Amino acid sequence: MCQIFAGQDPDRYETVTRRLRLNGQSTSIRLERAFWRIIDDIAARQGVTTPAFISKLHAEVLELHGEARNFTSLLRCACTIHLGEDQHIAPTAIAAE
């Protein structure tokens, strides 16, 4: 069982830092390559660039919660929702927004 997890290519979980603008401010986000692939896919499905998707998501988080605590963790959790691993929020509900 663990071979599926332990045997994965190390490039998949290598961290990659991308620089972008969030609401006009230059910043960098470091995520594992696998998460970047998922976020790139989400953005493409939304018809926007990855930086535009992340910036819009950040703005919506600020609007809803007033702050974006641990935004990189939020991005990782968004990936699990997109993959359907979170049973509380269906990916189709997110896509409809």
**What domains sit in the chain, N to C, each tagged with a CATH number?**
14-95 (1.10.3990.20)
pTM: 0.81
d(CA 66, CA 95): 23
Task: Walk along the chain (97 residues) and give the pLDDT tens digit of each residue.
Answer: 688 889 999 999 999 999 999 888 899 999 999 999 999 999 999 999 999 999 999 999 999 999 999 999 999 999 999 999 655 555 454 444 4
C-alpha angle 41-36-4 in degrees, rounded to nearest 5:
95
